[in-house]
Amino acid sequence: MDKAVSGFSKLSKEEKIEWIANRYFSEPTGAISLLKNYWNADEKLQKLHDDFIENTVTNFYLPLGIAPNFLINSKFFTVPMVIEESSVVAAASKAAKFWAERGGFKATVLNTEKIGQVHFIFKGETSLLENFFTKNKSLFFKETENITKNMQKRGGGILDIVLKNKTDLLPNYYQLHATFETKDSMGANFINSCLEQFAKTLKNLAQEEKDFNEEQKNLQVVMSILSNYVPNCIVRAEVSCRVEDLADNKKTNPQEFAEKFVRAVQIAEVEPYRAVTHNKGIMNGIDAVVLATGNDFRAVEAGIHAFAAKSGKYTSLSHAKIEDGIFSFWIEIPLALGTVGGLTSLHPLVKFALEMLEKPSAKELMQIVAVAGLAQNFAALKSLTTTGIQEGHMKMHLGNIINQFEATDTERLQIVNHFENHPVSHAAVVAYIENLRKIKL
């Protein structure tokens, strides 16, 4: 069957759903019913969700979990986390409680500089372009004043604009490399608006430049766009305590645990295959809070992974050491976040999450997010170097397996009780359920 469609975006939501159901499903009424089951009963709220993106047919829900007891810079936070992976919220909560009893997390914003670039082609001597830019630099600021005035009132704006020669990478390739301070907004729209005005100013000035020939007057702007790599928008989160204070039960040898933990981090520092999974665990915590607070987790992911490879080799984002009897564990990551603008003022649950965090500034949110990543990493490494990751993870995953087999309340209780004292695996749970149901027959 031909599945191409013309004018899909012009169809009503009902018509889109009917088209999908009739084209792709053997039981169209079931598909339609499923999609509509996830609509919000409040029509106004549903309309709000429909307008977030294009061609909306329903809502795709993810759980909003809560991780309490995060002591950050001597203040307790209850942290919202949106994620589908079992054991992440539990692990973050456990790490938060562990470190709250040992002085808590310390977090510091080191810088908040963001970056945008105008990429263009200029066929001429570099010195000629440099003289042109130096002579006209102030006009780039002047001609964006209508865009920057409100941001400047809040203490932000354009920090600097520099001309970068990239002809060693591509013939005739140059950049206007601009840096920005966007205060409590993530700033993507602001930055892109400034960049597009820079591009217009650049082209107009080039047309008027008497020292340029005709080809140079018609320099080619390729694109104007912010960068999600923000190596000067950095936050540091850390924990430390005396090695002996790491003991959390009588079975733990704190010195042995600390040394093994540090060795695990060192392996992630030198082995990219391990570093990727190590950092993915960090991102479990970071992404979950970024999503809950209405920020762009794809931008955060891209920037952080680029930062992890800034030396030319992909490596661990976190670091650990033992020095003079003190165990220290820390992370420094780039985070461009906002607490105003975008979904922060539209999505009801984002507003809920930010209010629960006591309406943080962008800097405070950077600290909370970095701490969530460090906590997640600590919990994962603690499990990996002691009991192993699967014991706790599979127990948390047990509920998903039970739901998959549509267990009754009675069966659920029996299954949970059985696996309190038995290792959890998908095969073991399936075998137990099948046996349980055979006995009933």
pLDDT of residue 441: 61
pLDDT of residue 368: 98
**395 catalytic residue (yes or no):** no
pLDDT of residue 114: 98
User: Can you say whether the dihedral through the CA atoms of 31, 37, 43, 49 is positive or negative?
Assistant: negative
**13 catalytic residue (yes or no):** no
Q: Which amino acid is at 287?
A: D
Q: Which of 18, 50, 85, 143 is catalytic?
A: 85
Domain residue spans of the chain: 8-50, 64-110+234-386, 114-227, 392-440
155 with 269: CB under 8 angstroms?
no
CA–CA separation, 174 vs 112, rounded Å? 25
Q: Which amino acid is at 118?
A: V
DSSP state of 345: G
82 with 291: CB under 8 angstroms?
yes
Terminal alpha carbon distance of the chain: 45
Which DSSP string do the residues of 175-190 spell out, in sequence order? EEEEEEE-TTB--HHH
**280 catalytic residue (yes or no):** yes
User: Can you say whether the dihedral through the CA atoms of 146, 218, 171, 127 is positive or negative?
Assistant: negative
pLDDT of residue 389: 54
Q: In angstroms, what CA-CA distances link 308 with 10, 236, 276, 301, 302?
A: 43, 14, 9, 11, 10
Going by CATH, does the domain composed of 64-110+234-386 fall within 3.40.630.30? no
Largest CA distance in the chain: 94
**296 catalytic residue (yes or no):** yes
pLDDT of residue 413: 80
Given the DSSP bridges, would you call strands 157-165 and 106-109 parallel, antiparallel or unpaired? unpaired
Mean pLDDT for the chain? 93
Q: Which of 296, 364, 382, 397 is catalytic?
A: 296
Q: Which of 94, 183, 393, 397 is catalytic?
A: 393
According to CATH, the topology of domain 114-227 is Alpha-Beta Plaits (3.30.70)
Please indicate whether the domains covering 64-110+234-386 and 114-227 agree at the CATH topology level: no
CA–CA separation, 295 vs 280, rounded Å? 18
pLDDT of residue 55: 97
pLDDT of residue 421: 73
pLDDT of residue 86: 87
Q: Which of 280, 319, 351, 418 is catalytic?
A: 280
Ordered mean pLDDT values, 10 residues apiece, the chain (441 residues): 81 96 96 97 94 96 97 98 94 97 98 98 98 98 97 97 98 98 95 98 98 97 98 98 90 92 98 98 98 97 98 98 98 96 90 97 98 98 80 63 78 78 76 77 61
DSSP state of 137: H
